Amino acid sequence: MKKALLLAFILVSNFALAQFDFKNPTALSVNTGFFFPYSSEVFKTGVNIGADIQHKLDPIYIYLSLVYNNSARKTNVPNEYYENTSGTSITEITGGGRLYIGENKFKYLVDFGIGFYFEKKGSYRMRQGGIMTEYPSENNTTFGGSFGIGAEYPINSDFEFVAKLKYHLYFGVGNDPFLNPYFALTGGIKYNIKF
């Protein structure tokens, strides 16, 4: 009786699992690239590094992304001396949906997300008219969203090259502009996790 129940359980489980597509339902990617602040009064063009995890929920994938954008402060006023004394950055934690288009060698993607943006405007020293003034760093947390397009190319069944262009728009804090946009261009490697 136990053997018959075990055999029945295995057959039913096998049939149930066959109803789902487990072809790469989860993937992890590591990316690096550049970020380009658009009309920013504070941030210069910089570099970024990040990680992304996605999971398939037909017909789309949901994703969670963590990216660190490193930059430097712009010099906006005429002065005799200017020095950044600490780093300037934007860290983003976003999540959303991703849709793949095409299943041939190249897979194209479109994604959209919302999340939190953590600004760090680094401290700096500036001399004007012979007077040296030190300005402390500022840290802000705000909310925003992103929209991106990209492509993936398989290396083998486990790994793929990934390239993305994303547009970010987040709300300003305090005296900042109401909306702050920037672009990010990234490339990296995606690992398809198989269970």
Residues 23-57 as b or e (16 or more Cβ within 10 Å = b): ebbebebebebebebeebebbeebebebebbbebe
Residue 173: closest CA among 129, 121, 122, 96: 121
- Bigger pLDDT: 62 vs 18: 62
The sign one gets for the Cα dihedral 76, 171, 90, 137 is positive
pLDDT at 69 over 60: yes
pTM as predicted: 0.79
Average pLDDT, the chain: 83
Domains and CATH numbers, the chain: 35-193 (2.40.160.20)
Count other Cβ atoms within 10 Å, centred on residue 172.
14
27 near 53, Cβ under 8 Å? yes
Over the stretch 88-134, which tens digit does the pLDDT of each residue have? Answer: 889 999 999 999 998 778 899 999 999 999 988 888 787 777 788 88
Quick one: pLDDT at residue 23?
58
